[in-house]
Structure 1
Amino acid sequence: MNILNSNDINILDLPDEILRIIFNKLNTIDIFYSLVGVNKRFDRLALDSLYIHHLDFVIQRFHIDNSSVDVYIDKICEKILPQINEKVTKLTLDPFSLERILDAVHYPQLHSLSLVNFQSDIFLEHLSSRLIADLLCNQITHLTADIYPETAEIHNENGKKQNIFLLILWLGKYLTDLTFSQPFSTNYLTFSSWATSYRSFLSSTLTNLTIEVNGFDDCLYLLNGSLESLSTLIIRINKIKRSSSRIDNTKKLVKLKYFSLRADKHTYFYDEQIVPLLRRMLNLEELTLQLSVVRLRMEPTYINGHQLYDEVLNYMPRLHKFIFCIHTQIYDIGLELDLPSSDEIRKSFIKRRFQSMDACAHDKFINDMAHCHVYSIPYPFNDFLFMSSCFQGGKFDKVRLLSMFDERPFEHKLFKIISQDFPFLQVLIIYNLEPQENDQHDSSTLITFNHLLRLNLNKAHKDYVIQFLSDRNTHLSCLMHLIIKYQTLATVTNNFTNDATRLNCAK
């Protein structure tokens, strides 16, 4: 930038408030390497105690080569960290930065640590090292562990299973808050089958836990008293099945104040497993539920406001906040029952003083099946699971992942609504083998998904492949990943010669 040209604006002319906004958009490594040492003003802003209390050293390696990373880290460790180490309270590190950043200086005020992008074996190696072990034993109260790809359960050198989760609890003498997640994994943590042997090693200090597990038994083990101070549990379960454990599911959970339960897949055991668990939480103050419930012949009714209150919420006298998204799929099996309308379901919530909610439901059975969705508004989750054809629209700005499931066709009009009401949708999964009934080729209603990156049509009728891949129906400007059966794709694209599908498949 030419500072002599009066028409140009020099960055040094910007006020501190604007520079702070710019700095907050930059990576810690970029700021320390490129701006510290330029002048006293940049040093004052970049090394301000309000900024440096949390340092994020996650390295985006696709932006820079390995030699550059070493140069950047060398400067930070040698020249900058010794100036600020006593002010740092939180560090975010990845496998490439962890050892050098922690080994460079002592951080006497450090109490929060986030370890991200670790494979399980590398994570265990660091967890067993002096650096991490000493911090967990003596300082860390808040820990975030992001581990991938498929499992957090591995073998140690003696051939015995080491569970990273339990080892963290054993080392974390002062740990009060733990987030244990496995990004991009479909196989969450499983430890229930042998966790009882580690009972004496579990935490007496942990109060807040966020975790993903494979089954309902894992959830019961976490609530069996081994985490004696636990007051907040945020848990995501892959699939809720009938419990095979002998854990008592009747003992009251008097210390639990906040409980969040989300399940990735349908469950047939809402009444048998989930309701009894929730009734144990008599001192609960906040509850979050995101569930898909299948009900068969013995209980072929939608979950409504009256049921939720009478069967669950009435057992929680201190509850003041309830957030939910509950999908019910019911099977009639020839009983020809009458179904409530969406409006009747809304009224069942309003009568129980649930004002901020919405509902959509099928009012008749097709192929002996029907669907209903009830959810809080504004919609609080980043995913919407098992949407059915009864959906009428709404505002879903937070949603990034949408899965659709029905025995009735999804028509072009519904996808138009979705494109408008889910403006930041990135992942779309469609489960529907029924062909579309209406003509989809109306150029006046071209659908655009501006942010859709991933489309899964592996279990979808070929009509939905045409719906999304034909540029006469849909425009997908950002699509990067398409999951589809090869034969279906070959058929729809006429062995990859159809011009109408070239644009959406170009990336």
Structure 2
Amino acid sequence: MNLLDLPDEILLCILHKMNVVDALFRQSGLHHRLDQLLFDPIYVRELDFTIKSWDDSISPLTVEPHAFERILNNISYPKVSSLLLTNFPSKTLLQHVTGNNILIQLIVKQITHLNINIIDEIIDETNNNNDQLNVFELVLSISNCLIEFTFHQSIKNNHQCLFIDHLSSTNPICSTLTKLDIQVNTFDDCLSLLDGRFPSLSHFLVYVNYIPSTSSDIDKITQLSKLKYFSLTNYVGTYFYNDLVVPLIQRMSYLEELSLFLTVSRRDTYEVVDGNNLYHDILIQLSQLKIFQFSIYTYLFNTNVSINDFPSNDDIQRSFNSNRFRQIGSYVQHTPGKTVYGCHVYSLPFKFKTFIRLSTSFSGGIFYHVRMLVANDYVPWEYYFIKKVAESFPSLEVLLISNSHPQKNKSQFNNNNVNTENLQMITFIRLLDLRVTLTHIDYIEQLLFNRYTHLPRLCQLEIDYEQLITLTNNFTNDQTQLNCLQVQRLIINESFVPPHNFFLFFPLL
């Protein structure tokens, strides 16, 4: 019997045996019928008394859109100082921040730790960005006691971030703020947040979408002596690492902890960001630095090159000879005939949740913290490389791969003379989301055929329709051969009419 088969009277008896706050914040959102019972006036009448003993050092008050009106309409929270507003569309949240008196009073008078997580549909990017910016600036303008503020935005059903853009030069000052974690569109926006509007800021975590050249009227000189922790993330890549990123870090003379996740692009040079570069540009300048975490990938674009002119991985490892560096991982990527060279250096243990630009040069290791992996290459991947990936990233949840080159040893899977112990099934035990567009069909077959790979938790798949037709032989193969029976969301970026057997392969859609 399912719990929801019980009558309301029995369910209410069960809920009354539970702690009211625990029931509200652990059970709400699981089912609309449970929500109706949880927020029934008879059940929540004692919540106002319970909340007086609320200990938000254990967990913040968490509010989602479906429960907002019930939680923040008629109940006061006199001892709550930590608040999480999550999964809100920006327009909806802006309406609440301007129109809900209980929420406004909490932000003005009580909340010291605020975490806002906006989830938007991409319909009108300009309007979405304006709403996000308005929420961010409004919160700062009305808060009297905010100490830590996390403000993140992303696209619904996607891992793509959205970014605050065009921060106002007259943004309100928040004198109490000591920690800010935010995503912004340009480096100008990053610099604007360090213009003195947060005089007590000591911890600054920023994800910058683009790092182009900056406006001439933005302060790039004033020392940032209050900063103790700085984290900078940029995936896209920048040609202005030496001109913008390094000078900004050198202004933080009292920095104690630094985290850099960057892609650096350079033309017509053989100089990569290696140990010598990091030592002279950063470590010598920051005498108070105690912890330095980094993942830096350098792209070199050269038109007239000789492979012997590029540094080898041994050269890269030798560059980290200072005792201020601990264990370092690295690999280089260069394909004969290509004018692109890549070098990835990273501190170990690897503390970042994302690992990008993985290639066959990767030497392995165990990366427990990584949840998202982006792998791309100009040479074929064989069985043992994919096996290495599965073993090196045991906590992987999202995998994006891009490789247009066919496997050379594909026939080994069907060769009865091959020792099967050496070709044991590969398992991605926690993988939830697989994206294989722009990928050769060989790798899609190896990942989605369950005689090669086991994906027990896969629930989202992004694939080209033509690839899907090939993979399923126009949906005539045995559907149990594929790792698709648990998929709940299929992303195909083109219009199509599902054929007759389509839902046999995707029964949960």
1:307 aligns with 2:281: no
Q: Which residue of 2 aligns with 1:57?
A: 25
Match for residue 362 of structure 2? 391
Change (3 A) 1:333 1:195: same
| 1-structure distance, mates of 2:439, 2:345 | 25
* SS of 1:408 mapped into structure 2: coil
SS of 2:430's equivalent in the other structure is coil
**1:279–1:316 Cα contact (<8 Å) kept:** yes
- Counterpart of 1:451, as a letter, is R
Aligned residue in 2 for 1:79: 46
Aligned twin of 1:190: 164
CA deviation after TM superposition for structure 1 residue 289, in Å: 0.7
Distance 1:271 1:493, change over 3 A: farther
Counterparts in 2 of 1:189 and 1:376: CA distance versus 1, 3 Å: same
Partner of 1:111: 81
Letter of the 2:452 partner, please give it. Answer: N
Residues 355-374 of structure 1: matches in 2 within 5 Å? 355-362=326-333, 366-374=337-345
- Could you tell me how far apart the structure 1 residues matched to 2:131 and 2:317 are? 53
Please say which of residues 402-411 and 112-121 is displaced more in the overlay: 402-411
* Cα 1:316/1:331, change in 2 over 3 Å: same
Partners of 2:135 and 2:207 lie apart in 1 by 18
Alpha-carbon distance between aligned partners in 1 of 2:126 and 2:102, rounded to the nearest angstrom: 21
State how far apart, in whole Å, the 2-side matches of 1:353 and 1:167 are.
43
> Which residue, 163, 177, 180 being the options, matches 1:206?
177
The one-letter code sitting in structure 1 at the alignment partner of 2:200 is S
Secondary structure in structure 2 of the residue aligned to 1:57: helix
Tell me the CA shift for residue 229 of structure 1: 1.8
Cα separation, partners in 2 of 1:110 and 1:492, compared to 1, 3 Å: closer
Q: Deviations over 1:377-405 (max 9, x none)?
A: 22111111111221011001221110012
Aligned partner of 1:112: which letter?
S
Aligned match for 2:299, one of 311, 329, 336: 329
Please give the residue correspondences for 1:46-195 in structure 2 after superposition, counting only pairs within 5 Å. Answer: 46=19, 57=25, 61=29, 63-65=30-32, 67-74=33-40, 75-89=42-56, 90-128=60-98, 129-150=100-121, 163-184=134-155, 186-192=160-166, 195=168
Label 1:268 to 1:466 Cα distance change in 2 as closer, same or farther (>3 A): farther
Helix, strand or coil for the counterpart of 1:349? coil
SS in 1 for 2:467: helix
Structure 2 counterpart SS, 1:100: helix
Aligned in 2, Cα 1:399/1:155: closer, same or farther, shift over 3 Å? closer
Comparing 173-182 with 475-484, greater Cα deviation is found at: 475-484
Unaligned runs of 5+ in 2: 1-10, 415-419, 487-509
Deviations 1:199-243 (A, max 9, x none): 3x2312211001112222221111122222211111112232333
Aligned to 1:451: 430
TM-superposition CA deviations, 1:238-258 (whole Å, max 9, x none): 232333463122322111110
Q: CA deviation at 1:161?
A: 9.2
Equivalent position of 2:251 in the other structure: 280
Which residue of 485, 501, 506 maps to 1:506? 485
Any conservation in 1 of the 2:270–2:310 contact (CA below 8 Å)?
Answer: no
CA contact (8 A) 2:396 2:428 kept: yes
Would the aligned equivalents of 1:293 and 1:329 in 2 still touch at CA under 8 Å? yes
SS at match of 2:315: helix
Cα contact 1:141–1:175 (8 A) shared by 2: yes
| Counterparts of 1:144 and 1:34, CA distance in 2 | 34
- Please list the CA deviations of residues 140-170 of structure 1 after superposition, one character each: whole Å capped at 9, or x if unmatched: 11111111115898869xx999611111100
Instruction: Note if contact 2:382-2:409 (Cα within 8 Å) is conserved in structure 1.
Output: yes
**1:404 maps to what in 2?**
375
Q: Name the TM-score, length of structure 2 as normaliser.
A: 0.82
Summarize the Cα distance change of 1:87–1:450 in structure 2 as closer, same or farther, 3 Å threshold: closer
Q: CA deviation at 1:262?
A: 1.2
Q: Deviations over 1:56-83 (max 9, x none)?
A: 737653x322x43122123553024314
Which residue of structure 1 aligns with residue 239 of structure 2?
Answer: 268
**Partner in structure 2 of residue 320 of structure 1:** 290
Partner residue of 2:228?
257
Provide the alpha-carbon RMSD of the alignment: 2.9
Partner amino acid for 1:191?
D
Kept in 2, the 8 Å contact 1:55–1:92? The answer is no
Residue in 1 that maps onto 2:496: none
Question: Given that residues 90 and 132 in structure 2 are in contact (C-alpha distance below 8 angstroms), is that contact kept between their aligned partners in structure 1?
Answer: no
Per-residue deviation at 1:473? 3.1
Paired-residue identity, %: 37
1:268 to 1:489, Cα distance in 2 relative to 1, 3 A: farther
- Structure 1: distance between partners of 2:365 and 2:456: 24
CA distance in 2, matches of 1:283, 1:404: 37
Structure 2 residue corresponding to 1:486, chosen from 465, 474, 484: 465
Opposite residue 262 of structure 1, the aligned amino acid is: T
Equivalent residue number for residue 406 of structure 2? 435
- Asked if the contact 1:237/1:262 (under 8 Å) is kept, the reply is yes
SS at match of 2:189: helix
Deviates more, 1:438-447 or 1:272-281: 438-447
Name the CA shift for 1:269/1:409 in 2 (closer, same or farther; >3 Å). Answer: farther
Distance 1:415 1:363, change over 3 A: same
Distance 1:305 1:56 in 2: 51
In structure 1, the residue matched to 2:439 is 460
Q: Offset of 1:259 from its aligned partner?
A: 0.3
Measure, in 1, the Cα distance between the counterparts of 2:46 and 2:438: 56
Secondary structure in 2 matching 1:459: coil
Task: Return the letter of the residue paired with 1:107.
Answer: Y
Distance 1:153 1:434 in 2: 35
SS at match of 1:450: coil
Distance 1:161 1:358 in 2: 38
CA distance in 2, matches of 1:226, 1:389: 46
Return the alpha-carbon distance in structure 1 between the equivalents of residues 387 and 331 of structure 2.
17
Once the two structures are superposed, what CA deviation does each residue of 1:306-344 show, in whole Å capped at 9, x if it has no partner? 100101222111111101111122223222152333233
The alignment of Structure 1 onto Structure 2 pairs a total of residues equal to 457
Name the CA shift for 1:253/1:60 in 2 (closer, same or farther; >3 Å). same
| 1:248 equivalent in alignment to 2:219 | yes
